[in-house]
Each structure stands twice: as C-alpha cells, then as structure tokens.
Amino acid sequence: MKPSWLQCRKVTGAGGLGGPLPGSSPARGAGAARRAFVAPGPWGGLGGRGCRALTSGSVGEYKTHFAASVADPERFWGQAAEQISWYKPWTKTLENRHPPSTSWFVEGVLNICYNAIDRHIENGKGDKIAIIYDSPVTNTKATITYKEVLEQVSKLAGVLVKHGIKKGDTVVIYMPMIPQAMYTMLACARIGAIHSLIFGGFASKELSSRIDHVKVCALFGEIYSQLALKLYRHKGSFILIETVPLAPDRDLDWDEEMAKAQSHDCVPVLSEHPLYILYTSGTTGLPKGVVRPTGGYAVMLNWTMSSIYGLKPGEVWWAASDLGWVVGHSYICYGPLIHGNTTVLYETLEWSKKVFRVPVLDHWWQTGEGGSGSSCLAAASSKVEPTSRCAKDSGQGKGAPRLGYYDTMDAGYMDEEGYLYVMSRVDDVINVAGHRISAGAIEESVLSHGTVADCAVVGKEDPLKGHVPLALCVLKKDINVTEEKVLEEIVKHVRQNIGPVAAFRNAVFVKQLPKTRSGKIPRSALSALVNGKPYKVTSTIEDPSIFGHIEEVLKQAL
C-alpha cells in the first residue's frame, strides 16, 4: 500500500540540536508508559563518511540550526518529517499535554518498513545494495539488494499474518547478527506487530524473563530459546526456528514456511504506535522494557543520517554495534535503510581480535561515556570557552567546581602535563603491608600467561601483611600441565611483571567465575566469600551456583 500524501524537502545541518527530539517522547505500550530517548551524536555509529557534518566549516551552520530547533521546534522537525512518506499527514507536529511527555506528529499515519524498503524500490532503486553481510564466524559473504530484502520481508510478514499475528501483537526475536534478524524486525514493522529483539549474549534464564514479561505471541530463535521455553510462564502462539530440533505442534521451520508464504503489504499505523520494545541489561535490577514509537523515530533517524553523519543516499555505512542494542536497531537496521544507504552487517568480535591482536575480554558498560576525543586538534571541532568547567582550565590550571558529582569508584592520577589516567577501580586496590596494589594490574599479568582464560584477584586477609592477593583462575580447556605447575609459572610471571611487592603467591582454579549479565565480576561478594564472611548474591548474577562451587574449591585448597 503506497501512501497517497508525499512531500520531500532537503534539510541539512549539524547535529546535537536543542529542544526535544522526535523519537524521544514517552512511548506507550506493554501495559505501561515508558520513556525512550535517542541522543543523536557521533557515538551512534562508525560510518565510512560518518560525522562529515561535524567539521570546522559547519560550526556556523550548526549554530543556525540549533537556534531554529529551539526557537520553533514544530517548524524545524515538521520540515524534517517531510522527508518521510506518510499515508496521512499529521495534524500537529508535537504535543505536550503532560510535560515532559511529548507526542510527535499527532494523528499522522505511516509504516516504517515502507519507508525503509518499498519506497526506494518504487523510486527505481530496487537493485541498489541494501545489506552487505559478512560473517567472520561462518565466512559467509553476501550482498542483498533492496528488491531481495522486500521479497524476504513481505513473505515473512505473510507467515506472521497466516499464523494469527496482527497489529499490536508482540514478537520476540533471539537471533545472531544475520540478515534474517533484520528481515524479522522489518516484517513485524510491516504488519504493525511490535518486535522485541533480545541481545544474543543473554542465555536461557535472561531470555525467559523477557519473554514472560512481554507476553510474547511468537518467538524467532535458536538453541537458547528452546531452553528458555522451559522457564517462562506465558505460552505464545508459535516459534519459528532455523537450526534446532523442532517440537511437533509448536515449532515452525523457517525454510518450509517461507517456501509457501504469500507476500503481505504494509499496514498503516499511527505515529505513536509502538515499533519495538528493547530491554535494558538488568545490571542494577530486573530488566526494564523501553517502548519506542514509530513516527518520531523514523523522522529522527532519517534526519541524523544526513545532518549528523553527512551521508548521501547510496553510500555505504557501518555501525560497529549489535542488533540487540539500541544502536543496532537505529543505525544498523532502520536508519541506513530509511535513508537509502547500504548497511554493513558484521559481527565484530573476531575482527577486533585479528586487527588489534589482543584478546577481547571485557567492556566498560557505562553508556554515554567513553566517546573518543583527541589530545591535539579537536576531532569534532568542539570549542572550550575560558569559562568552561574542565579538568585543566586555560586560566587557573584547575578544574572549576560544579554540582552533581557522583563517585565512579575509579582510581587514577594526573601527570605533569595535566593528562588524566584511569588505572583501576577503587575496590580493586589491595593493601599489602602498606603498599596499595592494583588487583586489576595483577589480573592483567595473570591473564597474559597463556594458560589462563579468565581471572579475578581479591584480597585475602593476612595476620602479618593485612591482605595478600588471591587469584581465582579459570584455565583454558586445552592445558595439559598440572595446576601446581601452572601456579608456579603464574607466580613467577606476576613477580616479573609486578614485582615482589605484590606478595602474590597463591591461586585457586575454578571452572567459572560469577558474573553479572553485563559481564562484571562481583568483587565485593567474592572478597567476602574468600574471607569467610557473609556475602550477597544479587539478582543480576547470571549463574549464582558458581559461588557454591568456589566455596567448595576454597575449602579444599586453603
């Protein structure tokens, strides 16, 4: 179904504008109102020509657009929305009935799948490449045109409708970084179903909690989805699976269903209709489902591709993220396709191991921080005013005080030139006979030994030195030497790298370390366990039984 009302107007400029952003309004769905924010900026993705609009030549243009977006956001974003195809135009660009809640493009009707696929084909670009798929896991390489994407997506939409999925129903997607995951997202959007794509790093327990919370009608997945079905309470309609044993009367085979599927057209939805539910990692508690509305999201993504990242339709774009996170939703799937770009679908773990030639062990996991900067010329043409509050002020040489501090628990130092170095966590420091030793530094040294796959170092109480470091090590599976020999080598290795001051002499070998869903090691709980004190296992621990295993190992070893 082609929209009957189409207008296009080119809007260019730089990003980071003031006022509310389309797609940042509170979204309603899944039984409750939830806030969903998008902050377009250079951290959103890494494109071949990304951030072109943020060069020194565009500072004046940025200020002009910033002023326009603040002075008249309705006009500014209304013009941006004219680049999107609508079945029915909106009656009001934004509505603030219950601040800070904002509704965007009120009563406007569209379909985001049509904007991402169909309209490009109707404009004669069906043979343009939509997806470049490159898998370092299977060594599969493929280029997929917009016409080919439409064929797959429209048929899959037909499969969903055939099995009773309708507008407003929820579909859970648990698939790796493969084109079929994007097809499923787009097929759901095509018929107005709400998709909830769950990060592939979550195992069956976390998957089941999200399935149960969202009250799923259908599930697309693989092996862990089978295990999750044993744990969740709400029984959905069906599961469409590619690579695992199928259960009669419940599971459907992807290839069989697609072979007999009939294509299905786009279903118009209101601007505020939920597009997807994306769950938080649940590091600090139960995972929370954030609901994203359709209209403002489509407008914002299309605008950022040109005005923030400086891309033209047809150019190739790569966002180094995962489809399971918000950047993957926005800048691997929807953003590039809506704008008519080629998106690269690539799993980056093996690539980074090969390019950086170091093991990829952990992540920072603090969203919003960690943007790349520069130690000389400003990469993003940022200008620090003399009155700005920064670590090294041009006048005083000291940071200006401000309200709103929070303690990150990071330890570091400032060198003679004013550069800051974050070395470790405060709770990583072990006081050994008056010497403050970084547990992180010892861990790094232990991990650099070829036999160790994972490691956590905590301080064990000692009557003479106060504390001494104890390493909990997970050995690699192909190690053919005794634990005693490995311990001897590790102790020697740490002594050479850290020095005798670390007083590192002991390690125990366990089958696994306890970690949160985000991959963090609960050091305080491990420290209490090692020292025979009460400890708390939080709800965010992936496998709490590991604590019991470590207790048994410690009883035998110490």
What digits encode the pLDDT tens for the residues 129-157?
999 998 877 788 999 999 999 999 999 99
- Give the dihedral sign, CA 506/511/516/518: positive
Domain end call among 354, 377, 394: 354
- Give the dihedral sign, CA 176/177/180/183: positive
Mean per-residue pLDDT, 265-294: 87
Looking at the predicted structure, is the pLDDT value of residue 224 above 50? no
Number of folded domains that form the chain: 2
Domain encompassing residue 238: 26-354
Q: Would 91 be classed as within a structural domain?
A: yes
> Does one domain contain both 343 and 431?
no
> Does one domain contain both 168 and 292?
yes
pLDDT given for residue 399 in this prediction = 57
Looking at the predicted structure, is the pLDDT value of residue 493 above 70? yes
Residue 147: CATH number of its domain: 3.40.50.12780
Q: Which residue has the higher pLDDT, 425 or 158?
A: 158
pLDDT given for residue 427 in this prediction = 62
**Residue holding tokens 């309200």?**
403
Mean per-residue pLDDT, 47-58: 36
What digits encode the pLDDT tens for the residues 520-543?
788 889 999 999 999 988 777 888
> Does one domain contain both 260 and 346?
yes
Half-sphere exposure of 474 (CA within 13 A, CB side): 12
> Does one domain contain both 296 and 433?
no
Q: Would 500 be classed as within a structural domain?
A: yes
Q: Would 170 be classed as within a structural domain?
A: yes
> Does one domain contain both 326 and 447?
no
Strands 435-438 and 429-432: antiparallel
> Does one domain contain both 81 and 172?
yes
Strands 238-241 and 218-221: parallel
Domain end call among 337, 354, 371: 354
How far apart CA 442 and CA 449 sit, in angstroms, is: 11
> Does one domain contain both 327 and 433?
no
How far is CA 277 from its chain centroid? 13
Q: Would 397 be classed as within a structural domain?
A: no
Which strand ranges, in their side-by-side order, compose the sheet holding 316-317?
141-145, 129-134, 342-346, 316-317
Q: Which residue has the higher pLDDT, 104 or 237?
A: 104
Give the closest residue to 98 by CA, choosing from 38, 35, 29: 35
pLDDT given for residue 20 in this prediction = 56
Residue 525: CATH number of its domain: 3.30.300.30
Looking at the predicted structure, is the pLDDT value of residue 252 above 70? yes
Q: Would 34 be classed as within a structural domain?
A: yes
Strands 342-346 and 129-134: parallel
> Does one domain contain both 55 and 143?
yes
> Does one domain contain both 431 and 346?
no
Which of these ranges, 216-220, 336-340, 374-378, has the smallest mean pLDDT? Answer: 374-378
Is the entire prediction scored with pTM above 0.75? no
Looking at the predicted structure, is the pLDDT value of residue 12 above 80? no
> Does one domain contain both 201 and 331?
yes
Domain end call among 315, 330, 354: 354
pLDDT given for residue 518 in this prediction = 67
Q: Which residue has the higher pLDDT, 360 or 241?
A: 360
Q: Would 335 be classed as within a structural domain?
A: yes
Q: Would 411 be classed as within a structural domain?
A: no
pLDDT given for residue 55 in this prediction = 37
